[in-house]
Amino acid sequence: MKEYRTGCISVIQNNGRTEGKGPMFLSEAAVAKVQRIHRGYPDYHETPLRRLDAMAENLGLKAFFVKDESQRFGLNAFKGLGGLYALTMVICRELGLDVEKIRFSDLKWAEYRETVQKMVFVTATDGNHGKGVAWAAGQLGCEAHVYMPIGSSELRAQAIRDINPKAEVIITKTGYDDTVRYAAEVAEKRGWILIQDTSWEGYEDIPAWIVQGYTTMAEEACRQMEEQGLVPTHVFLQAGVGAMAGGVTGYLANRYEDRRPAIGVVEPENMACIYQSALMGDGEAHEAVNQAPTIMAGLNCGEPCKITWPILRDFADWYFKCQDYISAYGMRLLAAPQGADPKVVSGESGAVTTGLVNLVAGKEEYEDIKKLLKLGPDSVVLCISTEGDTDPVHYRKIVYEGKNPMPQQA
Ligand SMILES: Cc1ncc(COP(=O)(O)O)c(C=O)c1O
């Protein structure tokens, strides 16, 4: 497929976009049971949908919304949605329980305790997913082993230890994709249960539950917008392995069918596996080329999730890759809002979509991409700030000290 490059943004338009309904496992009926589990969790609250009218006006858009996932389950990121649901499903399967009749807290009952507490969970993570798994396991008194790729922040590792005293957290000497393979090997060898947010041949059930888990966030956002009399015309989704972006895209295709919003998938310049897969145009998933570290730790993944790549291939409209400073730009815009807009604390992986839309719609040199995206006075844009300041030291460096500046300011 053809790629366009303007300034620091590369974009591919999807020529093979499919109309109609998304995959069955993300249908509204299929995900209703996910929402039941999440809503049944005692500390469940919908996360706020922030409306930034001054930003929208500045960009010449009808409305600009940011779903603020820093508020999710007290975990500072959306990922607990997947961990909580996947653990519930795994345990229900092991114990022969009907997930339609159970709440997560029922799994603490004395009759299940002995079996549940023997289960040991393991995962690989850049931080947020592992924190979600360790948190859900900790609620049930279970052990969790969490492997993080080389270069991971010690602060993020400690945050996971703090959330579950029975969590062992190790920073490995390899990158994200090899750390995932290592976690899978350890699980196999020790008989632990791998709760991974990406999939490969033969490992599909658990990732599918995780992907379904993310749809609660999409359902909330759509409903919260509709309560204000608006439906999204454009949704921008950041991708690491693409599990979140694929889950939300599939959900939107099912909810809105032929009226679904245009969807842009956004990745870091040097960790763009979804972009690379789209570029190759053979329908297959491909690894990112020229892989290099990014400040967007949650998006630092070189291999697509196999169950969500086909959704992104068929239902997304555009694929983007972005330099790190676009995310830093988004973080600052959300930290220091204009007019009466609310402040959103958004981390490196959370803010990239806001940064991208502000560049494209707000800067003259990106006029051609703005036209390609048909962004204008009727556009209702949704971005998801998938995390807050999960690395608070780095957050301050960017927001207060101007790290990763826009090139003309450097
Ligand atoms: C904050 C944040 N946003 C987005 C993502 C991307 O999710 P996925 O790997 O499913 O594409 C992650 C993944 O860890 C994340 O931590």
- The pLDDT tens digits of the residues spanning 151-193 come to 999 989 999 999 999 999 999 999 999 999 999 999 999 999 9
Burial state string for 259-278 with b = 16 or more CB within 10 A and e = fewer than 16: ebbbbbbbbbbbbbbbbbbb
Tell whether ligand 1 has an atom less than 6 A from the beta carbon of residue 131: no
**Percent share of the chain, pLDDT over 70:** 100
What is the token pair recorded at 97?
């329980």
How many angstroms separate the alpha carbon of residue 331 from the centre of ligand 1? 16
Confidence at residue 239, expressed as pLDDT on a 0 to 100 scale:
98
Confidence at residue 393, expressed as pLDDT on a 0 to 100 scale:
96
Q: How far apart are CA 188 and CA 371, in angstroms?
A: 50
R_g of the chain computed on alpha carbons = 20
User: pLDDT category, 262, cuts 50, 70, 90?
Assistant: very high
173 is known as an active-site residue: no
What residue has token string 């460096």? 397
Tell whether ligand 1 has an atom less than 6 A from the beta carbon of residue 274: no
Residues 6+ apart with CB under 8 A from 241: 197, 198, 273, 301, 303, 304, 305, 308
Q: Whose CA is nearest to atom 12 of ligand 1?
A: 298
Rounded to an integer, the average pLDDT of 395-407 is 97
79 is known as an active-site residue: yes
How many angstroms separate the alpha carbon of residue 189 from the centre of ligand 1? 27
Tell whether ligand 1 has an atom less than 6 A from the beta carbon of residue 239: yes
Residues 6+ apart with CB under 8 A from 366: 6, 7, 9, 359, 360
Confidence at residue 1, expressed as pLDDT on a 0 to 100 scale:
83
Amino acid at the residue 329: Y
How many angstroms separate the alpha carbon of residue 70 from the centre of ligand 1? 13
Rounded to 5°, the CA angle 295-182-247 comes to: 60
What residue has token string 């991208």? 356
C-alpha to C-alpha distances, 145 to 31, 121, 193, 323, nearest whole angstrom: 28, 6, 10, 32
User: In this model, does residue 408 exceed pLDDT 80?
Assistant: no
What residue has token string 């972009």? 275
123 sits in which H/E element: strand 120-124
Tell whether ligand 1 has an atom less than 6 A from the beta carbon of residue 220: no
- Residue of 321, 349, 352, 387 to test ligand 1 pocket, by largest number of atoms within 8 Å of CB: 349
Q: Whose CA is nearest to atom 15 of ligand 1?
A: 298
Q: How far apart are CA 410 and CA 406, in angstroms?
A: 7
- Residue of 244, 275, 353 to test ligand 1 pocket, by largest number of atoms within 8 Å of CB: 244
Q: What is the pLDDT of residues 312-371, one digit of tens each?
A: 999 999 999 999 999 999 999 999 999 999 999 999 999 999 999 999 999 999 999 999
Mean pLDDT (the chain) is 96
How many other CB atoms are found less than 10 A from the CB of residue 378? 10
Q: What is the β-pairing status of strands 143-148 and 234-238?
A: unpaired
How many other CB atoms are found less than 10 A from the CB of residue 27? 17
Q: How far apart are CA 235 and CA 161, in angstroms?
A: 34
Residues 6+ apart with CB under 8 A from 119: 90, 91, 94, 142, 193
Tell whether ligand 1 has an atom less than 6 A from the beta carbon of residue 298: yes
How many angstroms separate the alpha carbon of residue 361 from the centre of ligand 1? 24
How many angstroms separate the alpha carbon of residue 402 from the centre of ligand 1? 24
Rounded to an integer, the average pLDDT of 34-45 is 96
Per DSSP, the three-state class of 193 is strand
Q: How many residues does the chain have?
A: 410
Q: What is the β-pairing status of strands 380-385 and 63-68?
A: parallel
Q: How far apart are CA 157 and CA 130, in angstroms?
A: 9
Tell whether ligand 1 has an atom less than 6 A from the beta carbon of residue 128: yes
Residues 6+ apart with CB under 8 A from 228: 51
Confidence at residue 409, expressed as pLDDT on a 0 to 100 scale:
47
Tell whether ligand 1 has an atom less than 6 A from the beta carbon of residue 384: no
How many angstroms separate the alpha carbon of residue 276 from the centre of ligand 1? 18
How many angstroms separate the alpha carbon of residue 158 from the centre of ligand 1? 19
Tell whether ligand 1 has an atom less than 6 A from the beta carbon of residue 241: yes
Catalytic residue of the set 67, 79, 131, 321 = 79
Tell whether ligand 1 has an atom less than 6 A from the beta carbon of residue 386: yes
Confidence at residue 8, expressed as pLDDT on a 0 to 100 scale:
87
User: pLDDT category, 278, cuts 50, 70, 90?
Assistant: very high
Tell whether ligand 1 has an atom less than 6 A from the beta carbon of residue 387: yes
Record the pTM.
0.97
Catalytic residue of the set 33, 67, 108, 126 = 126
How many angstroms separate the alpha carbon of residue 132 from the centre of ligand 1? 12
